[in-house]
Each structure stands twice: as structure tokens, then as C-alpha cells.
Amino acid sequence: MNMIVQIYTIQSTEEAEELVKIGVDNLGLTPANIGLPGEISIELAKEIFSIVKSKNNIALSVSSKVNEILDMAFYVNPDILHLCGEPGSITHDDLLSIRQGIMQKKQDIKIMQAVSVEGLASVDLAIQYSKLVDYIILDTSTTSVEGIGASGNTHDWNISKKIVDNVSIPVVLAGGLSADNVSEAIKIVRPWAVDSLTHTNKYFPDGSFVKDIKKVSRFIENSRQTDEKN
């Protein structure tokens, strides 16, 4: 099976359609209005997901408020809800409440919990989360952006490998991945999927960005070639 490729953050229907066309599996959107990189309105996110269908349409939330998270998810209706609030902000009870809320609403939404890989303690944390969620995404925190992720920096892939070896659910590897380093990352970690945001962007002088289709294409090619050889 080919390595799953997950790309953040999509900001238009046209961009989403083009990324699916070139082979992106999972489309990541950031429905918010708090200044996150590439964020879009919940209305636009809902529209994109209603028109474009990837293997998994994913909506990200950095909130730690259960009701706020669920309101967004129910409106946007992703396949996967990506929880990446500040480390420790989502508790065991919060995850149970989110799961219960989704079940009561009878919407088929899976949960993906972010883990900030910062040391061996991350392994135990990921194991605990894995009992409550459907996916784990391993990422790198930064103080310049709220939540876990969007740092553009890698972390210790050896710790990520330990997490993959010790959980029984799919693991997505994120954090500073690019076409240039994704092959090495896959060889070390052997994740279910690889994720890229920062290093597959084309930036403009004002700091805004769109996805760089050539960079994404190289990311996909290197990911799939490495996966086939290992």
C-alpha cells in the first residue's frame, strides 16, 4: 500500500481539487478566525468539503473547549477532526466528551490527536491517547503559533519510531517534513502517513501563502518511492 500523503492547509476549492488531482490523499483545512496560518472561515471549509472529496477530509482545531470544537466539527463535517490544542489542554475527559458528542450526533467523524514530540514522555502520552482516539499525529510545537504544529521544524524521529511501535492505531508523521527529508523520515519512523504544511508552501511578501504544486508533487513522489522500496 502506498504511503498516505496529507497536506495542510488548503484555502480554496480550486486548490483542493488540484491537490487531489496530483495524488494528495488527505486534505487538511484550518477553519478558524484567530490568526492561524492559512485559516479559512468555517463556511468556506464546509463548502470545500461538500465539493471536494479526498480519502480523508480533515478539519483542524486548536481549541480546548469541547463545545467549540464540536460546533465547528458538526458544521464543517470532516472525515477526521484534528485536535492540536496546546500540549495538555485536551484532557482524557475532554476526549471522552468529544467522542460522546459525535456519537450522539450520529456523524461519522473520526478523531486525530496531536502529540508534541519533545522527549520520551511523549511515548507514554501517545499510548494513553491511542486508547481514546482513531489516529495520532506526531508534530513539533512552536511558541510562535497557537497549538501543536505549523512550526516548520523537525523533531527526534527516533522517538516517533518508538511511538509507532507502541500504539495500535494509524500514526501520521508531521513536523518540518519536505520533499528533501521525507524519505529519511519514512525509513526511520515507518508511519501510516506523512504530513506537510510549511515546506510545501509558496509564500508571498505579506506572509500569506498558497500550496506550491511542484513542491507537493515532489513530496508525494519521494514519499511513495521510499515506501515502495521499504
Query: Residue 204, Cα to own-chain centre: how many angstroms?
Result: 23
Number of domains forming the structure of the chain: 1
CA distance 178 to 219: 6
pLDDT in tens, 7-27: 999 999 999 999 999 999 999
Give CA–CA dist 184/7, Å, rounded: 18
| Lowest pLDDT segment from 20-34, 143-157, 205-219 | 143-157
Indicate which CATH number applies to the domain containing 85.
3.20.20.70
User: Looking at the whole model, is its pTM more than 0.85?
Assistant: yes
In the predicted structure, residue 100 carries a pLDDT above the cut 90: yes
Percentage with pLDDT > 70 across the chain: 97
- CA dist 90 and 81 (Å) reads 13
The per-residue pLDDT for range 24-59, each reduced to its tens digit, is: 999 999 999 999 999 999 999 999 999 999 999 999
Condensed to tens digits (0 to 9), the pLDDT of residues 130-143 reads 999 999 999 998 77
User: For residues 185 and 105, what is the distance between their CA atoms, to the nearest angstrom?
Assistant: 38
Q: Is 33 exposed, middle or buried (CB count within 10 Å of its CB: 0-12, 13-18, 19+)?
A: exposed
Asked whether residue 230 carries a pLDDT value surpassing 80, the answer given is: no
Task: Show the domain range for 120.
Answer: 4-229
**pLDDT at position 141:** 83
pLDDT for 153:
85
Residue-averaged pLDDT of the chain: 95
| Nearest CA among 29, 71, 25, 70 for reference residue 49 | 29
Give me the pLDDT at residue 2, please. Answer: 81
pLDDT band at 228 (very low <50, low <70, confident <90, very high): low
